């Protein structure tokens, strides 16, 4: 029972920290937080879907892939993480911040984003969106999830920039580089006692 409680706490904390980085730092500066957002923009551009509908389609499709490959427990934990992240973003984006600096927001937002994602991935939980694919690749090919996350997101950002607009591509790639470095650092941390709850595909 204790490992489950610890995992609940870590998943909730990871979702909140990730949402903190997005809601307080990245989103106010219009910096995309991941590849799912890039796909969402493309669906909106090509098919006229609302952002909310397009984002739901992207996350739901990727979650189905995770459900098939990683199991039901993965899907349940990911839903918890996504919910906490959404609530956290909604809360923190309401906080007014004066005298904003783009690069400071970019760096701090990316660091907190990476911490949140890293905590979730250490628990075999995705942060939603492209994080699902990163975990699948990590488990199948034994590579760091941050590495695959960076390359997938980078490809999506570049593709979206070619189709739509180049204005924020550099900021998006820089943010992803910082975040994924933090993800890899956290994923490689070693503890005397592991708090990662093992699970099997069901």
Give ∠ CA 49-41-180 in degrees, rounded to 5.
140
195 located within any domain:
no
41 located within any domain:
yes
CA distance linking residue 16 with residue 113, whole number of Å:
10
192 located within any domain:
no
State residue 57's pLDDT score: 82
Q: Give 110-141 as a DSSP string.
A: HHHHHHHHHHHHHTT---STHHHHHHHHHHHH
**Structural domain span for residue 149:** 2-187
Sequential pLDDT tens for the chain (202 residues): 678 899 999 999 999 999 899 888 987 887 877 787 778 778 878 888 775 677 678 877 888 877 777 778 878 888 888 888 878 887 888 898 888 899 999 999 999 999 999 999 888 887 777 878 888 888 788 888 788 888 888 888 888 788 877 877 788 889 989 998 999 899 788 755 444 444 444 4
End-to-end CA distance of the chain: 19
200 located within any domain:
no
State residue 6's pLDDT score: 92
CA distance linking residue 116 with residue 195, whole number of Å:
16
Task: Output the pTM of the full model.
Answer: 0.77
Q: How many domains does the chain have?
A: 1
């Amino acid at each position: 029972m204790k490992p489950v409680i610890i995992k609940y706490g870590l998943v909730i904390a990871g979702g909140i920290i990730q949402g903190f980085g997005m809601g307080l730092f990245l989103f106010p500066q219009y910096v995309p937080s991941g590849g799912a957002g890039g796909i969402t923009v493309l669906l909106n551009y090509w098919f006229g879907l609302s952002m909310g509908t397009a984002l739901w389609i992207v996350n739901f499709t990727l979650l189905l892939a995770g459900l098939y490959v990683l199991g039901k427990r993965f899907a349940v934990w990911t839903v918890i993480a996504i919910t906490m992240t959404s609530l956290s973003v909604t809360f923190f984006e309401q906080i007014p911040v004066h005298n904003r600096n783009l690069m400071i927001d970019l760096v701090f937002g990316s660091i907190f984003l990476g911490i949140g994602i890293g905590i979730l991935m250490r628990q075999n939980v995705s942060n939603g969106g492209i994080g699902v694919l990163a975990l699948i690749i990590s488990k199948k090919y034994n590579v760091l999830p941050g590495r695959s996350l960076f390359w997938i997101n980078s490809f999506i950002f570049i593709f979206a920039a070619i189709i739509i607009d180049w204005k924020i591509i550099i900021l998006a790639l820089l943010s992803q580089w910082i975040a994924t470095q933090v993800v890899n650092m956290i994923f490689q941390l070693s503890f005397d006692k592991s708090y990662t709850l093992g699970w099997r595909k069901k």
